[in-house]
């Protein structure tokens, strides 16, 4: 039992955290609003960002047949909602990366699209 604990302890000390660095407060006016776009396959999506406070926000992701609500942490101009990553690239522009699983084969692929914010 002691060997297992020492192995776990050593691994925890050498493992780098997924989110290295500190979260810092963001400007709510840069994020809040409705971000819309279309994937390459023609499916439309919308990311509604609200209640930005510090580095936290409430997000609703909606694409044809899928709706997800989540509280997110914003870091390095990005956040995740389920399998979808939102990355702000410029003023009122963002890149959306969505991991999609093919129901027929079970394989996954990355679907990338661009979103613009309604001002």
pLDDT of 103 reads 85
16: helix, strand or coil: coil
Domain limits of the chain?
Answer: 25-117
Place of tokens 């390459």: 40
- How far, in Å, are 29, 33, 44, 85, 113 from residue 110 at the CA level? 29, 25, 16, 11, 10
Greatest alpha-carbon span in the chain: 59
pLDDT at 59: 98
Q: What is the pLDDT of residues 84-105, one digit of tens each?
A: 999 999 999 999 999 888 888 9
Render pLDDT for 101-114 as a digit per residue (tens, 0 to 9): 888 898 998 999 99
Tally of residues, the chain: 119
The predicted structure's pLDDT at residue 18: 58
Chosen CATH of 25-117 out of 2.40.128.20, 3.40.50.1820, 1.10.760.10, 3.40.50.2300: 2.40.128.20
Q: What is the CA radius of gyration of the chain?
A: 18
Residue 13: its pLDDT value, please?
58
pLDDT, position 12:
60
Write out residues in the chain with pLDDT < 70, as ranges: 1-20
pTM, whole model, 2 decimals?
Answer: 0.78
């Amino acid at each position: 039992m002691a060997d297992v604990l020492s192995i776990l302890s050593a691994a925890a000390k050498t493992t780098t955290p997924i989110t290295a660095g500190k979260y810092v407060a963001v400007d709510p006016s840069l994020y809040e609003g409705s971000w819309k776009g279309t994937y390459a396959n023609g499916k439309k999506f919308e990311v509604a960002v609200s209640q930005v406070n510090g580095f936290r926000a409430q997000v609703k992701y909606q694409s044809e047949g899928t709706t997800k609500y989540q509280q997110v942490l914003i870091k390095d101009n990005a956040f995740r909602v389920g399998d979808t990553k939102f990355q702000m690239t410029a003023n009122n522009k963002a890149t959306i990366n969505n991991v999609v699983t093919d129901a027929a084969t079970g394989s996954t692929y990355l679907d990338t699209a661009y979103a613009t914010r309604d001002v």
